[in-house]
Structure 1
Amino acid sequence: MCEGNQTEVTEFLLLGFRGLYKYKFLLFIVILFSYLVILTGNLLIIVLVSTKDHLNIPMFIFLKHLAVADILISTTIIPMMLDVIVLEEKRVSVSGCMVQLYLFFLFGFVQCFLIAVMSYDRYLAICCPIRYNSRMHPQLCLKMVFGSWSLIFFVSFEIFLVLQLEFCGQNGIDHFFCDIGPLVKLSRSDASLLLLVDFIMSIVVVFSPFALIIISYICIFFTIMTLPSTGGRRKAFSTCSSHLATVCTYYGTIMMIYSPPLDDNSLSMNKFKSLLYLVVSPMMNPIIYSLRNPEIRRTLQQIVRRLRGLN
């Protein structure tokens, strides 16, 4: 219970990008354009994989679900962020804040597992090509996708601990969305158990899939190096280059978030790191696969030629 004359907080005040409001029009345009690119690019991936039979293979099925997660995590945060930029601050109820944090955790964790599953698919395709079709069958793909989305149960436990936090008096969050770090700092409760669970969850859900990705690519690298011809090595590497670029983009931004601040202006740096994670990675995935993947590139070229023929 809140003590003295302190009142229990029923809503939070998102302070957004204080100090950058003289550039808010430019910031709004950049974020809005990035969000439109995220929606357009990832929706295009979803539609192509869902409607084109030759793209209905495990790698692109996983890519379709990654595109869904990219859209959902961006939509969870960016519209409210745009509102914060325009209004220069944003009031959000405690329950609304918790829902946003829950969805942010869920879709972020789903991204980690889907990218790891895609690395396992590339491992089988390159290291075990003869047994690829028998191992990566539709039932296994469905189980992997379902397993990635079933993380809702793990996230629910951490959010339950967040709901136990008590907020009294101050309600200003120096961020553009309800992130766990600012909430813990604002709370008057003992958050040691929550921080421990968050640390364990980060290892299990974020860095364990990354370890699986590293192991997969070590095996892939040594397999490619044993191929006798340069052309064969180049072809094998091209089959996983798009996914490798996605891994570098996604985990590059994740590592920036978890890296310790180098100066005292840590709050501004955390906002900048979060912005990269929420905008750059979901925006780059469809661009990477559209430019580097020959199947999707050919499909897009066919669609463009058909549209030109209609004109």
Structure 2
Amino acid sequence: MATKNRTEVTEFVLMGLSSQPEMQPVIFGVVLIMYLMAVLGNTLLVLVACSDPKLQTPMYFLLSQLSLIDISLTTIIVPQMLVHTLSVSRTISYNCCMTQLFSFMTVGSMEVHLLGAMAYDRYVAICDPLRYSAIVSHSLCLRITLTSLGVVSLNSLLYSVLVTRLTFCGNKVTHFFCDITPLLKLSCTRPVVNEMLIFTEGVAVVVSPFFFIFGSYVRIGIAIAHMHSVAALQKALSTCGSHVLVVMFLFGSLVHMYLKPSSSYNLEQDRQVAIFYTLISPMLNPLIYSLRNQEVKGALWRLFRKLHPQAVSSLDFRQRMSVNLLRSKG
């Protein structure tokens, strides 16, 4: 293939999830439903965490930030993906592609750091509960969030700048968004520097937080093993269990995508896996955190009562009638 100068590539063609025309309406419908569920679920979680007085704690502050990250992550990718699914032209301009790459890497890396901060919050709450308020505060969580945002933004900027310096020998991206791996595959020469950076920075951004989370949960596990209160044990397992599930889902897909030798990349397989951490995981996170957490479920019910008092009164009336009927029969 003839070598092209980078400036000649003014746009890229995103190949999407499937090249079969008959599958496009199905893909559009499924992705749209999942996207709406992800946005609505995470938005509801943010509203509950911000409005309920009982959830004004650092833990739920971090959870609301995670929900905002999930909303941002899906919105960076899915709306354009939906347009391309039903469009004959699947092009994206060079500048928009680089912007999407930078935004996705920033938000994705930010999610990893937030999960690390949430693990630390759980560690202090369970292993050192008497000093929790003194150690973990809203101001500390805010500083962690802003510092992480600055670090991952610089890291993503470095990645993006290195990609812009590549010379591309084609513009067909075997993916549904501008991710770094399929873009590197279009390089006319092997991008050794970029590949090394992906691995080394991947270790710093992904593996290091994972080991931090793992270490935190080892200590938490030891503390749980010595608990004698059933109520405290159930509360610890409910809050930590949700977080462990989210960590397993996210880190498993990230390691598969970015921390393997370049020779083993399979772009067809990778774009299927990418659906998991760009859409499925953000959709499931609100369900995982709400269904396994009594405090969140209670806050959701209080919010529903506030928004629909008449419906709640009707439900309470029917419940009382049912109880009275059962008592009269007894």
TM surpasses 0.5: yes
Larger Rg: 2
1:153 and 2:132 aligned: no
Distance 1:256 1:142, change over 3 A: same
Segment drifting more, 273-282 vs 4-13: 4-13
Deviations along 1:15-57, one digit per CA (max 9) or x if unpaired, are 2134443121111111000000111011111112222222111
Q: For each residue in 1:131-186, what CA deviation from the matched residue of structure 2 results, as whole angstroms up to 9, or x when unmatched?
A: 11110023211211112221211211121111111224x21112111111111111
Paired AA for residue 118 in structure 1: M
Q: How far apart, in 2, do the equivalents of 1:272 and 1:234 lie?
A: 36
Which residue of structure 2 lines up, in the alignment, with residue 44 of structure 1?
A: 44
Structure 1 residues 251-303: Cα deviation after superposition (integer angstroms, max 9, x where no partner): 23223424769xx9922211100111111111111111121111110111122
Greater CA drift, 95-104 or 10-19: 10-19
Task: Work out whether residues 291 and 297 of structure 2, in 8 Å CA contact, stay in contact via their aligned partners in 1.
Answer: yes
One-letter identity of the residue aligned with 2:305? R
Change (3 A) 1:198 1:302: same
Alignment of 1:141 with 2:141, yes or no, is yes
Residue 289 of structure 2 aligns with which residue? 289
Q: How big is the shift at 1:90?
A: 0.8
After TM superposition, the structure 1 = structure 2 runs for residues 86-235 of structure 1, keeping only pairs within 5 Å, are 86-87=86-87, 89-150=89-150, 151-168=152-169, 170-235=170-235
| Distance (whole Å) between structure 2 residues aligned to residue 204 and residue 111 of structure 1 | 14
Alpha-carbon offset, residue 117 of structure 1? 0.3
Mean CA deviation greater in 111-120 or 42-51: 42-51
Distance in 1 between the 2:139 and 2:123 partners? 18
1:223 partner amino acid: A
Q: TM-score, normalised by structure 1?
A: 0.92
The one-letter code sitting in structure 1 at the alignment partner of 2:17 is F
In 2, Cα distance between equivalents of 1:4 and 1:241? 51
Structure 1 residue runs of 4 or more that deviate by more than 6 Å after TM superposition: 4-7
Determine the C-alpha separation between the residues in 1 that align with 2:163 and 2:195.
10
- What's the CA shift string for 1:200-236, capped at 9, x where partnerless? 1111011110110000000000111112345543332
Give structure 1 stretches of 5+ with no counterpart: none
Q: 2:273 aligns to what? A: 273
Q: 1:12 is paired with a residue of what secondary structure?
A: strand
Residue 62 of structure 1 aligns with which residue? 62
Q: How has the CA–CA distance of structure 1 residues 282 and 157 changed in structure 2, closer, same or farther, with 3 Å as cutoff?
A: same
Of 37-46 and 50-59, more deviation after overlay is shown by: 50-59
Q: What are the Cα deviations for residues 234-259 of structure 1, in whole angstroms up to 9, with x where unaligned?
A: 33222322212221222232234247
Aligned with 1:227: secondary structure?
coil
Q: Give, in whole Å, the separation in 2 of the partners of 1:10 and 1:235.
A: 54
Sequence identity, in percent?
36
Residue of structure 2 in register with 1:13 after alignment: 13
From the superposition, tell whether residues 138 and 259 of structure 1 become closer, same or farther in structure 2 (CA, over 3 Å).
Answer: closer
Is the Cα–Cα contact under 8 Å of residues 16 and 89 in structure 1 kept in the other structure?
A: no
Q: Answer yes or no: is the 8 Å Cα contact 1:119–1:216 preserved in 2.
A: yes
Instruction: Please report the RMSD computed on the Cα atoms of aligned residues, expressed in angstroms.
Output: 2.4
Number of corresponding residues: 308
Deviation at 1:304, TM superposition (A): 2.5
TM-score (norm: length of structure 2): 0.87
Distance 1:308 1:6 in 2: 57
Distance in 1 of aligned mates of 2:61 and 2:15: 39
* Counterpart residue type for residue 78 of structure 2: I
